Amino acid sequence: MRIASSVLDLIGSTPLVRLNAVNRSEVPIVAKVEYLNPGGSIKDRIAVRIVHAAEASGELRPGGTIVEPTSGNTGVGLALVAQQRGYRCVFVVPDKVAEDKRAVLRAYGAEVVVAPTAVAPEDPRSYYSVSDRLVRETPGAFKPNQYANPAGPASHAASTGPEIWEATDGRITHLVAGVGTGGTITGTARFLKEASGGSVQVIGADPVGSIYSGGTGRPYLVEGVGEDFWPGAYDPSLVDEVIAVSDGDSFRMTRRLAREEGLLVGGSSGMATVAAVRLASRLGPDDLVVVLLPDGGRGYLGKVFDDDWMRRRGFLGTAGVGSVGELVRRKDVGGLADAGSLPAVRRDATVGEAIDVLRRRGGSRLLVLSAPQPVVLGEIAGTLDAHRLLAAAPGDSIEALIGPMPAFVGAAEPVAAARATLTAEESVLVLDDGRPLDLLTRTDLLAHASDDHEGTAP
Ligand SMILES: Cc1ncc(COP(=O)(O)O)c(C=O)c1O
């Protein structure tokens, strides 16, 4: 009989499948489908090994509690192992992680604490800090710390690497994997480099903005990969090259994998596949590229796979005639003082400084930014309205006056989409391929309407 003794025995041994539609080169690209693990992601692998190692070292004892900051998948893996072995689980997740993913953690019996993303790692509200505090306050707590735990990379050296080597009969020449904690690429590379006498080339895929590909750690939208610090689980000496991929390219490829390859996977799988396709375009017919697809797409149905979500962020379509993007271009040509920059102030500005910007730019609303321009979406902290400034003193900080995020409209959407939003909202932020272009108000649309009118006058 082939019956697993518990769900934990079903972890690993995932299949490899050739990518046909998304790969135009002669070089085969094969995907390792990690969503077929019982918890739905590659993170099941590290969970088992981390818990076993902690039991062996005495860090985790009967009745103990596992506390971990996680983007969701590690939580599922740990929750599976914890319930099978009788531990309690508390997870701290960043607020950008979809609600569906948090619900999954709760379904497995774990407790979930949500922490903000737009703060520095050392901020007491950050998800790293919150989890440290929970560890201190919970008796019998064990923090797996997937960012530094050597059992993470070790699990991939013991399972992911050998599985790829065997399934390809040792013919793999290039490994492509997204880098989050770095555990996957480090452990898998360690095995494959050793097995091949150093010949397998290892390529990291990384979101534009993340430090692995030379960024500063600025925010991006793809989940589960990229970092703003160097984790101990990552060994850069094993990685031959890192390819940076934009959010837009990652998401569009993710949708193609579902529609054209029948693989419903998450955004980081799309990102890794873009890197694999770019790599393959410069390789030869004797090469064999293996790309890891870390998780499934069901947790992202309200994001990557939602047409509206994609359009509003400017990830679908091009900004042609009659589009919001064209309106923004015309407005800039109209001779605005600060054309090309957003009507905005830094978060640390005073009320007096904000009033100066409003007077120079006109309008009644500013964006509040946590970084210098040009910003990315994740660096917009909210909005600041003229009527709130009136009620404050010039020397006051604007911090207490910051209002909610504006609504979004994609640059490729018709002007009618912006108009519809502005009937209910004070302003709408125009996004082009995820990048903030301008903040439109009703006045901008009225100016546009009168321009059109003049244009059609006899
Ligand atoms: C969806 C997703 N993709 C990729 C990764 C990258 O794996 P690692 O943390 O081993 O670098 C992770 C890990 O968090 C993930 O959750």
Mean predicted confidence (pLDDT) in 440-445:
88
**Which ligand 1 atom sits nearest the alpha carbon of residue 269?**
3
Identity of the highest mean pLDDT range in 118-132, 318-332, 386-400: 386-400
Q: What is the CATH number of domain 308-456?
A: 3.10.580.10
Tell me: pLDDT of 267 over 50. Answer: yes
Given its phi and psi angles, is residue 341 left (phi above 0), alpha (psi -120 to 50 degrees) or beta? Answer: beta
Residue ranges per structural domain of the chain: 7-42+150-297, 43-142, 308-456
- Break the chain down into helix, strand, coil percent, rounded to 5: 40, 20, 40
Report the range of poorest mean pLDDT among 36-40, 126-130, 180-184, 448-452.
448-452
The model's pLDDT over 364-384, given as tens digits with 9 standing for 90+, comes to 899 999 999 999 999 999 999
Tell me: pLDDT of 97 over 80. Answer: no
For residue 250 and ligand 1, the question of a CB distance below 6 A is answered with no
User: In 185-264, where do the E strands start and end?
Assistant: 201-207, 241-245
The model's pLDDT over 163-216, given as tens digits with 9 standing for 90+, comes to 999 999 999 999 999 999 999 999 999 999 999 999 999 999 999 999 999 999
- Judge contact between 154 and 171, C-beta under 8 A: no
**Which ligand 1 atom sits nearest the alpha carbon of residue 268?**
3
Strand 380-385 to 365-369 pairing: antiparallel
Tell me: pLDDT of 63 over 50. Answer: yes
> How many C-beta atoms surround the C-beta of residue 450 within 10 A?
10
Q: Dihedral angle at the C-alpha atoms of 131, 134, 135, 139, nearest 10 degrees?
A: -160
In sequence order, the 6+-apart residues with CB closer than 8 A to the CB of 180 are: 71, 224, 225, 226, 227, 268
The model's pLDDT over 72-89, given as tens digits with 9 standing for 90+, comes to 899 999 999 999 999 999
Tell me: pLDDT of 124 over 70. Answer: yes
Scan for tokens 């800090």, then name that residue.
129
Q: Do domains 7-42+150-297 and 43-142 have the same CATH topology?
A: yes
What's the CA-to-centroid distance between 117 and ligand 1, angstroms?
17
Percent of the chain with pLDDT over 90: 84
Q: Whose CA is nearest to atom 6 of ligand 1?
A: 180
Scan for tokens 């007077």, then name that residue.
359
Tell me: pLDDT of 99 over 90. Answer: no
Tell me: pLDDT of 291 over 90. Answer: yes
What's the CA-to-centroid distance between 225 and ligand 1, angstroms?
5
What's the CA-to-centroid distance between 203 and ligand 1, angstroms?
15
User: Distance (Å, rounded) from C-alpha 450 to C-alpha 334?
Assistant: 13
Mean per-residue pLDDT of the chain: 93
Class of domain 7-42+150-297: alpha beta
| Cβ neighbourhood burial of 268 (10 Å; 0-12, 13-18, 19+) | buried
Give residue 254's pLDDT.
98
Q: Whose CA is nearest to atom 14 of ligand 1?
A: 224
Q: In 3D, which of 266, 203, 175, 189 has the Cα closest to residue 233?
A: 189
Report the range of poorest mean pLDDT among 104-108, 127-131, 312-316, 371-375.
127-131
In sequence order, the 6+-apart residues with CB closer than 8 A to the CB of 450 are: none
Residue type, 453: H
Give residue 416's pLDDT.
95
- Judge contact between 32 and 291, C-beta under 8 A: yes
Say which CATH topology domain 43-142 has: Rossmann fold (3.40.50)
Cα–Cα distance list, 279 to 90, 238, 292, 324 (Å):
40, 17, 14, 35
At residue 458 the predicted structure's pLDDT band, cuts being 50, 70 and 90, is very low
Mean predicted confidence (pLDDT) in 288-308:
96
**Which ligand 1 atom sits nearest the alpha carbon of residue 182?**
11
Query: Considering the entire predicted model, what is its pTM?
Result: 0.93
What's the CA-to-centroid distance between 399 and ligand 1, angstroms?
34
| Cβ neighbourhood burial of 368 (10 Å; 0-12, 13-18, 19+) | buried
Tell me: pLDDT of 236 over 50. Answer: yes
Tell me: pLDDT of 457 over 50. Answer: no
| Cβ neighbourhood burial of 285 (10 Å; 0-12, 13-18, 19+) | exposed
Give residue 456's pLDDT.
45
Give residue 337's pLDDT.
44
List the strands of the sheet with 427-432, edge to edge: 407-410, 427-432, 435-441
Mutation test residue for ligand 1: of 68, 70, 73, 146, the one with most atoms within 8 Å of CB: 73
Catalytic status, residue 32: no
For residue 178 and ligand 1, the question of a CB distance below 6 A is answered with yes
For residue 39 and ligand 1, the question of a CB distance below 6 A is answered with no
Q: Tokens representing 271?
A: 């990102």
**Which ligand 1 atom sits nearest the alpha carbon of residue 46?**
10
For residue 210 and ligand 1, the question of a CB distance below 6 A is answered with no
The model's pLDDT over 388-432, given as tens digits with 9 standing for 90+, comes to 999 999 999 999 999 999 999 999 999 999 999 999 998 999 999
User: Distance (Å, rounded) from C-alpha 259 to C-alpha 411?
Assistant: 25
- Judge contact between 77 and 35, C-beta under 8 A: no
Q: Whose CA is nearest to atom 15 of ligand 1?
A: 224
Supply φ then ψ for residue 97, to 5 degrees.
-75, 130
Give residue 128's pLDDT.
81
Q: Tokens representing 362?
A: 């006109």
At residue 119 the predicted structure's pLDDT band, cuts being 50, 70 and 90, is confident
User: Distance (Å, rounded) from C-alpha 27 to C-alpha 280?
Assistant: 6
Q: Is 440 helix (H, G, I), strand (E, B) or coil?
A: strand
Mean predicted confidence (pLDDT) in 13-27:
97
At residue 361 the predicted structure's pLDDT band, cuts being 50, 70 and 90, is confident
